[in-house]
Amino acid sequence: GKAGYDWFMLKEIDEQPQAVADTLLGRLGNRGEIVLDEVRISDEDLRGITKIFVIACGTAYHAGLIAKYAIEHWTRIPVEVELASEFRYRDPVLDRSTLVVVISQSGETMDTLMALRHAKEQQARVLAICNANGSTIPRESDAVLYTRAGPEVAVASTKGFLTQVVACYLVGLFLAQVRGLKYEDEVAAVVAELRKLPDQVREVLAGMDEVRELGRSLATESTLLFLGRHVGYPVALEGALKLKELAYIHAEGFAAGELKHGSIALIGDGTPVVVIAPSPHGRESLHGKVVSNIQEVRARGARTIVIAEEGDDDVLPYADHVIRVPRTPTLLAPVVTTVPLQILACEIADTRGLDVDMPRNLAKSVTVE
C-alpha cells in the first residue's frame, strides 16, 4: 500500500535514499574500486570497445543523456545516446566492438527491446540497466546491471530514474577501471563521492516543504521552462517531462546555451523559468554561464526558480526562489538536482486535483509501439 502517503509517487520519492544505497550495495570495493561481477563481458572485450550506444525511452533516455557526459569523461570512449524508437528504424553503424547499453525500468518496453535485438543482430555486446528482475530486456542481453530500486508503482518514474543514473556512473567507472585509462585515479575519488549520495538525497528531501509551497503557487501557470547546461540539461528535460505527464502543463527543457537561438522569445512577464545551476566548485566557466543565463531571462521578465548548491550566492541577485542542494562533483549533481523537480511536479499536479499516480493516457509499461 501507500504506507500513509497520499500518492505512491511521494512514497517512491522518499524511498530514493535507500534505493540509491541499494544500487551501490556491494558494488563499491574497499580500495575504492568498482565491483561489477554481474557484467559478464570479458575484460578483453571491454578493453576492445571503441564506441558505446546508450538506448532508452522517456525518462530512461534522460538517464542515458547524463551517462554520456560521465562515461566519455571517465573512459574517453565516444558515446551516442539515442531514443530506442529512432535507433531501431534507422541504420546505425555498430559492430563487435560496440557496447550497447539499454536502460529500462520495466525491462519490457517494446521499442527498447526491438532496439536491443537490432543491436544483437549486428554482433554488438548488450548490457542492460534494468529494475524489474527477470524481465525480457535483461533476459535477452549479454549482461545486466540491476538497479534494485524495488517495485515502482506510480506511472511517473522517480526512484527508477535516480537509480538508473547511479547505475550508469558505475558502468562508466567500471569501464575506466578495466581499461586503465587516463582517469583511473579519479575512480577512487568518485567512489568516495558516490558513497555520500544516499545521505545527500536524504538531505534534499528534508528541505522539501518550501518546494511544495512553491509548487502550490505555480499550479495555475500555463507554461514552465527548464534550463540547464552540461548534466543540468538532461535534468531540465526530466523536470519538464515530469510536469507534462503529471500536471498536463506545457513545459519544455532547454540547453541554456540554445536560448538565444529562438526559445528566449517565449519568455514574457512572469514566465516561470526553472534553472539548474552547476556547482561553483566545478568548471568555473560553466557556472558563470548559467548565472548569466539566469540574469538574461530575469531581465526579460521571467520569474526565476534556481536550483543551486549550498553556499552558491552568485545566483542570489537573479533568483526569485532558490532551492538548495548539497555540494557534489558536477557529474554526480543530477542525483540531487532532480529530486526537487519531482516534488515540484507532484505538488503542482496534486494542487490541480489530478491523479498523480495514474496520469491520463499513460501506462506504466509501454509494451506496444
Q: Which residues participate in catalysis according to the annotation?
A: 364
For residue 104, the minimal CB distance to ligand F6R (Å) is: 3
Nearest CB to ligand F6R, comparing residues 316 and 362: 362
Residues that bind ligand F6R (CB under 6 A): 57-60, 104-106, 109, 112, 156-157, 241, 245, 365-366
**Closest approach of Cβ 317 to ligand F6R, in Å?**
34
Residue nearest to ligand F6R (CB): 58
Dist CA 162 CA 59 (whole Å) = 10
What values do phi and psi take at 275, rounded to 5?
Answer: -120, 130
Coil, helix or strand for 116? helix
In angstroms, give the least distance from the CB of 364 to ligand F6R. 7
Q: Are 323 and 306 in contact (CB under 8 A)?
A: yes
C-alpha torsion sign, points 247, 251, 254, 256: negative
Shortest separation between residue 112's beta carbon and ligand F6R, angstroms: 5
Q: Which is nearer to ligand F6R, 71 or 129 (CB)?
A: 129
201/246 with CB nearer ligand F6R? 246
d(CA 275, CA 67): 20
- Give the CA count within 13 Å in the CB-facing half-sphere of 30: 0
Strand residue runs (E) in the chain: 51-56, 79-83, 98-104, 125-130, 143-146, 223-228, 250-255, 272-276, 303-309, 321-325
Work out how close the CB of 184 gets to ligand F6R at its nearest, in angstroms, rounded to a whole number: 31
> Quick count: other Cβ atoms within 10 Å of Cβ 123?
11
In angstroms, give the least distance from the CB of 176 to ligand F6R.
Answer: 25
Dist CA 133 CA 147 (whole Å): 9
CA distance linking residue 278 with residue 31, whole number of Å: 29
CA distance 145 to 157: 18
Complete DSSP assignment for 38-65: T--S-HHHHHT--EEEEEE-HHHHHHHH
Q: Give the nearer residue to ligand F6R in terms of CB position, either 296 or 347.
A: 347
**Which of residues 104 and 304 has its CB atom nearest to ligand F6R in the complex?**
104
74 contact partners, CB below 8 Å, separation of at least 6: 172, 173, 175, 176, 181, 183, 186, 187, 190
The 98-104 sheet, strands edge to edge? 79-83, 51-56, 98-104, 125-130, 143-146
**SS3 letters across 192-245:** HHHHHHHHHHHHHHHCCHHHHHHHHHCCCCCEEEEEECCCHHHHHHHHHHHHHH
To the nearest whole angstrom, how small is the minimum distance from the Cβ of residue 275 to ligand F6R? 21
